[in-house]
Amino acid sequence: MLQLVPSAAEPSVCSAKGCRRPGLHAVVWRNPKLHTPERRKVWLACDDHQGSLSDFVAKRGFLIEVIPVDRLTDADG
């Protein structure tokens, strides 16, 4: 269902199930019960799915931030 941050050779595709649109937003999250504080998981989102993907992790208390994909760093992923 979800795609990790792509490498330079892979296209940035929205992580929403069945969506093939470009992922323009990075929904950055962490499950504190599973991940260390420095861990940053990323789902990519198109304009249409940015709200639903970020709401999904926010309701669980996992959302760190939503940023443009071009602001991702090597620490994300």
In a domain, 4, yes or no: yes
Quick check: 55 and 21 in contact, CB under 8 A? no
Evaluate whether residue 44 is within a structural domain. Answer: yes
- Residue 77's pLDDT band, with cuts at 50, 70 and 90, is low
In a domain, 57, yes or no: yes
Averaged pLDDT for residues 50-68: 97
Range of the domain at 43: 1-71
CA distance readout (Å), 61 to 1, 13, 24, 55: 20, 25, 23, 10
The answer to the question of residue 39 being in a domain is yes
Q: For CA atoms 29, 32, 37, 38, give the dihedral sign.
A: negative
> What are the pLDDT digits (tens) for 1-56?
444 444 454 568 999 999 999 999 999 999 999 999 889 999 999 999 999 999 99
76 in a structural domain: no
Q: Tell me if 77 is assigned to some domain.
A: no
- Binned at pLDDT 50, 70 and 90, residue 73 comes out as confident
**What total number of domains does the chain contain?**
1
In whole angstroms, give the CA distance from residue 74 to residue 59: 26
Q: What are the tokens at 63? A: 């959302």
The reported pLDDT for the residue numbered 76 is 79
Tell me if 16 is assigned to some domain. Answer: yes
